[in-house]
């Protein structure tokens, strides 16, 4: 994954997604490029074409806040994408990113204990590569039974059951890739991120297409549908919370509307999970008692 000119990659990808008519640019003559031309982005941003070309080519790496804001308006970026553009223009120093990478994989035991007390609420803690670092019993049961239950990126794009598990797979896939872009920020030299993006790019055409768009989706609140192999259809609201003590980690909490069929299905899943946990505990006690 080329991390030398992330700003230029982002600008090229995003101008290719803006139709000229969206910005009132006359579509005159035959266009050789999708979206806006470089000179059109420059005009809309109040910049010289030469300066904008230098930005895309990585020969100008210190645009002002005002220039970045103008580019965001020209490219019709939403708040998440505009914030990402500002981060690309002023990336975090490499040593700070490496220190942050080490810290983010350690899950607080206090947080795990708190999650385990939510017996009726699925909860998982995700790392920046969308891998499941920890979960409570119901959170584990929600994603159980898949080849990649502990890795949400690979679950979406590589698991053979993904499109059945996620009835709205196209939307889930787009949001998941956008969330990975947001989580990565400017830190594309992380070996785990390089490995993940490389593997998915080789094995999934859908991932390659979505990754090339450079969409940014901050994981906040959404309603998501699941087709669970044990309890059937579930429609759950989730809230994603950042963990201040572990930058890069997210606590994702799922809930069903009270009294809904999904709430009953989630309650059933909780009961089955509790029964299975109790059986495993009894079996372990028996093994200890018999010396096995």
Q: Is 11 exposed, middle or buried (0-12, 13-18, 19+ CB in 10 A)?
A: buried
For residue 278, the model assigns a pLDDT of 53
Q: Both 133 and 70 in a single domain?
A: no
Pick from 51, 69, 91: which residue ends a domain? Answer: 91
Q: Both 80 and 122 in a single domain?
A: no
Structural contact between residues 82 and 72, judged by C-beta atoms closer than 8 angstroms: yes
Q: Both 122 and 234 in a single domain?
A: yes
DSSP 123-151: EEEE-TTSBEEEE-HHHHHHTTTSTTTTB
Structural contact between residues 175 and 182, judged by C-beta atoms closer than 8 angstroms: no
Q: Is the pLDDT of residue 4 over 80?
A: no
For residue 95, the model assigns a pLDDT of 44
CATH number assigned to the domain comprising residue 196: 3.30.450.180
Q: List Cβ neighbours of 238 (8 Å cut-off, separation of 6 or more).
A: 221, 222, 223, 224, 252, 253, 254, 255
For residue 227, the model assigns a pLDDT of 96
Q: Both 86 and 116 in a single domain?
A: no
Q: What is the pLDDT of residues 201-214, one digit of tens each?
A: 999 999 999 999 99
Q: Both 77 and 137 in a single domain?
A: no
**288 domain residue, yes or no:** no
For residue 289, the model assigns a pLDDT of 44
Q: What is the pLDDT of residues 99-133, one digit of tens each?
A: 444 444 789 999 999 999 998 999 999 998 999 99
Using only the alpha carbons of the chain, give its radius of gyration: 23
CATH number assigned to the domain comprising residue 28: 1.10.260.40
**30 domain residue, yes or no:** yes
For residue 201, the model assigns a pLDDT of 95
Q: Both 144 and 269 in a single domain?
A: yes
d(CA 146, CA 140): 11
Q: Both 157 and 40 in a single domain?
A: no
Average pLDDT for residues 189-200, to the nearest whole number? 88
**25 domain residue, yes or no:** yes
**15 domain residue, yes or no:** yes
**75 domain residue, yes or no:** yes
For residue 90, the model assigns a pLDDT of 81
Pick from 91, 125, 145: which residue ends a domain? Answer: 91
Q: Both 109 and 237 in a single domain?
A: yes
Number of domains the chain is built from: 2
Q: Both 121 and 246 in a single domain?
A: yes
**59 domain residue, yes or no:** yes
Q: Is the pLDDT of residue 96 over 70?
A: no
Q: Both 81 and 106 in a single domain?
A: no
Average pLDDT for residues 227-240, to the nearest whole number? 95
Q: Both 84 and 222 in a single domain?
A: no
Q: Both 54 and 167 in a single domain?
A: no
**159 domain residue, yes or no:** yes
Name the band, by pLDDT with cuts 50, 70 and 90, for residue 247: confident
Q: Is 231 exposed, middle or buried (0-12, 13-18, 19+ CB in 10 A)?
A: buried
Give percent of the chain above pLDDT 70.
Answer: 86
Q: Is the pLDDT of residue 224 over 80?
A: yes
Name the band, by pLDDT with cuts 50, 70 and 90, for residue 25: confident
**173 domain residue, yes or no:** yes
Whole domain around residue 262: which residue ranges? Answer: 102-283
Q: What is the pLDDT of residues 44-78, one digit of tens each?
A: 999 999 999 999 998 888 899 999 999 999 999 99
Q: What is the pLDDT of residues 125-162, one digit of tens each?
A: 999 899 999 999 999 999 998 999 999 999 999 999 99
8-state DSSP, 221: E
Pick from 59, 91, 123: which residue ends a domain? Answer: 91
């Amino acid at each position: 994954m080329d991390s030398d000119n992330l700003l230029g990659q982002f600008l090229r990808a995003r101008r290719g997604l803006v139709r000229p008519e969206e910005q009132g640019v006359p579509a005159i003559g035959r266009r050789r490029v999708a979206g806006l031309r470089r000179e059109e982005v420059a005009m809309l941003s109040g910049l010289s074409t030469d300066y904008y070309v230098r930005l895309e080519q990585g020969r100008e790496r210190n645009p002002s806040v005002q220039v970045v804001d103008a580019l965001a308006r020209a490219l019709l970026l939403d708040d998440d994408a505009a914030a990402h553009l500002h981060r690309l223009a002023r990336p975090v120093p490499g040593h700070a990113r490496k220190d942050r990478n080490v810290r983010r994989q350690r899950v607080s035991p206090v947080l795990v204990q708190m999650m385990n007390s939510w017996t009726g609420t699925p909860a998982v803690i995700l790392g920046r590569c969308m891998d499941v670092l920890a979960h409570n019993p119901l959170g584990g049961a929600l994603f159980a039974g898949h080849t990649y239950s502990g890795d949400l990126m690979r679950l979406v794009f590589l698991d053979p059951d993904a499109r059945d598990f996620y009835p709205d797979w196209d939307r889930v896939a787009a949001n998941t890739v956008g969330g990975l872009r947001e989580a990565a920020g400017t830190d594309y030299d992380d070996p785990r991120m390089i490995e993940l993006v490389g593997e998915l790019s080789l094995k999934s055409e859908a991932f390659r297409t979505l990754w090339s768009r450079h969409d940014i989706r901050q994981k906040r609140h959404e309603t998501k549908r699941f087709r669970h192999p044990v309890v059937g259809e579930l429609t759950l609201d989730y809230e994603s919370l950042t963990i201040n003590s572990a930058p890069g980690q997210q606590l994702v909490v799922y809930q069903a509307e009270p009294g809904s069929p999904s709430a009953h299905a989630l309650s059933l899943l909780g009961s089955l999970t509790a029964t299975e946990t109790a059986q495993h505990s009894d079996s372990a006690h028996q093994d200890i008692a018999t010396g096995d």
